[in-house]
Amino acid sequence: MSRQQTTELAVLGALSVQPMSGYAVRAAITETLGHFWSESFGQIYPTLARLESEALIVRDADGKTSGSTFRLTPSGRERLVDLLREPITAAPPRNGTLLRLFFGGLLGVEECRAILTEARSRAVAQLAALDAIRHGLEAETAADPDARYRLVTVLAGQHSARAAIAWADESLALLAG
C-alpha cells in the first residue's frame, strides 16, 4: 500500500527551487541530484499533468514561446513538506556487482579482480567529481545556510566512494593471496 510517489517528490522539490519547464526539471534533476537520483521524461510529464490537475502546481504560458513554466502553488509546497516528512521506505538495495561477485567461484579469480578494478575506477572518478561540487558548495554555505543540506548529500557520495575504494583494495588483496 501507499505508493512511493518519489517522482512526485523530486518534481515538487525541483520546482520549489524555482519555477521552470518540464524539460528544465529533468535537466535540474540530472545535473543536481544525478549522483543519487534520476527521472525520465516518461515519468516527469505525466506527473506534471497530474500535479496540475490537483492544483499543486500551475502552468504559466510563456507569452509567445512554445513552452510553459510550472510553478508551485501554496498547497503544492505543503504537499512537498508532507512528502518530505513521510517515513523513508528503505528500498532493497539491489547491487548487481555484488550479485556477480557472490558467485565469483564460477567466474574465476581474474574476472572477479577485473570487476573489482572497474568498480574502483568508477569510485575514484566519482570522488573527484564530487570534490569539485563540494568546493563550490562550501563557498556558498557562508551566504546561504540552506547550502549545508546540499553539502550533506555530497558528503554522502564521497564517504560512499571512499568506502568503495577501500573495499575494492581489500578485496583485491584477499583474492590475490
Build a one-symbol-per-residue string for 80-99: x at contacts with DNA by CB under 7 A, - elsewhere: ------------x-x-----
Phi-psi region of 37 (alpha: psi -120 to 50; beta: other; left: phi over 0): beta
| Measured CA distances, 66 to 42, 43, 57 (Å) | 20, 21, 19
Helix or strand or coil: residue 1?
coil
Helix or strand or coil: residue 92?
coil
# residues near DNA by CB under 7 A: 28
Maximal C-alpha separation, the chain? 69
Question: What is the closest distance, in whole angstroms, from the C-beta atom of residue 24 to DNA in the complex?
Answer: 5
| Interacting partner of 74 out of a copy of itself, DNA, none (Cβ under 5 to 8 A depending on kind) | none
Nearer to a copy of itself, 37 or 45 (CB): 37
Nearer to a copy of itself, 50 or 77 (CB): 77
Build a one-symbol-per-residue string for 21-50: x at contacts with DNA by CB under 7 A, - elsewhere: xxxx--x----------xxxxxx-xx-xx-
Q: What are phi and psi of 71, to 5 degrees?
A: -135, 140
Residues that bind DNA (CB under 7 A): 1, 3-7, 21-24, 27, 38-43, 45-46, 48-49, 64-68, 92, 94
